Structure 1
Amino acid sequence: MSASHNQAPSHYETVLRDAGVRITRPRKVILSILSGHTDHPDALEIYRRAAAIDPAISLSTVYRTMKLLEEKGAIHRHAFEGGPSRFEQAAGQHHDHLIDMDTGQVVEFHSERIEALQQEIAERLGYEIVFHRLELYGRRRKDD
């Protein structure tokens, strides 16, 4: 899913403005890309998308913007095995990830059974879960 870079201020823009960060044209393009996509791009992919709109955008601007957004809690950075850090919007319902080891595709899923089992295990061991992240790595099954 994509979006035009000439839209109303995004949640990301509001977060950065509230932090006293100036919203430059390159940063506005980067923020519109993040607002308009639901995948888990890495910094290089964000740069490619931004440079297609404005060739003057630098990779360092992408890295600095992503770091600011992560520091402000607007995005989550994932370091999935075998690949570069990827980013996703921090807002939304908790979910886990299944990473396709052949394509790199990240599939989001939520399972009440898994959540309940994690809670049960933590309680049995005398713990309260404060935070958790579940990543499954797999390959598509080949039907025989």
Structure 2
Amino acid sequence: MSDPHQRAQELTDALRDSGIRITRQRRLLLHIVSRSDDHPDAVELHRRASEEMPGISLSTVYRTLTALEEHGVIQRHQFQNDIARFERADADHHDHMIDLDSGEVVEFHSEQIERLQSELAADAGYEIVAHRMELYVRKIDKDN
């Protein structure tokens, strides 16, 4: 995958090609999301944006996230009992494990799971068009 600056530029170009005006706020959020290796929520994105653009409002962040999501640049994840979190839509396919105690989101990819899902769908007469897998987990206490 390309570096964060290049990813941000590719996302900016894609939005511009779709006829979307690239404001300073949108450009900043594209850069922040492009260099994020976690799944920040809107408040965290606002905090990060405020460090670089003091005075940016939370409502501007929400409006920008909505526009970016509508144009397929970012993905919204609504994990069980959690607020919406965001990540780049151009990331390679992966699934998520969500630690119920810490809230940490761990990305993973398993060819074995992908193969099994395809086999299950095919056996039922279907082809997978898209899917998500979310595992809700807790750390195992190895001392007990």
The question of a shared fold, defined as TM-score above 0.5 by the shorter chain, is answered with yes
Contact 1:74 1:90 in 2 (8 A): yes
Give the secondary structure class of the aligned counterpart of 2:38: coil
Indicate the residue corresponding to 2:141 in structure 1: 142
Where is the helix percentage greater, Structure 1 or Structure 2?
2
| Range with bigger deviation, 11-20 or 33-42 | 11-20
One-letter amino acid of the counterpart of residue 102, structure 1: D
**Partners of 1:87 and 1:45 in 2: CA distance:** 10
| Range with bigger deviation, 18-27 or 30-39 | 18-27
Matched residue count: 140
Indicate the residue corresponding to 1:57 in structure 2: 56
**Partners of 1:89 and 1:107 in 2: CA distance:** 15
How far does residue 103 in structure 1 lie from its aligned partner after superposition?
1.3
Runs of 4+ with >6 A deviation:
none
Contact 2:25 2:64 in 1 (8 A): no
**Partners of 2:14 and 2:64 in 1: CA distance:** 12
How far does residue 26 in structure 1 lie from its aligned partner after superposition?
2.6
Give the secondary structure class of the aligned counterpart of 2:130: coil
Residues 107-122 of structure 1 aligned to structure 2 (within 5 Å):
107-122=106-121
Indicate the residue corresponding to 2:34 in structure 1: 35
Contact 2:100 2:138 in 1 (8 A): yes
> What are the Cα deviations for residues 18-53 of structure 1, in whole angstroms up to 9, with x where unaligned?
233332323322222112212111111100111122
**Partners of 1:87 and 1:54 in 2: CA distance:** 20
**Partners of 2:48 and 2:12 in 1: CA distance:** 18
> What are the Cα deviations for residues 35-77 of structure 1, in whole angstroms up to 9, with x where unaligned?
2212111111100111122221011111111111111111111
Give me the CA root mean square deviation: 2.0
In structure 2, runs of 5+ residues without a counterpart are none
Contact 1:97 1:106 in 2 (8 A): yes
How far does residue 93 in structure 1 lie from its aligned partner after superposition?
2.0
Contact 1:27 1:61 in 2 (8 A): no
Give the secondary structure class of the aligned counterpart of 2:97: strand
One-letter amino acid of the counterpart of residue 53, structure 2: D
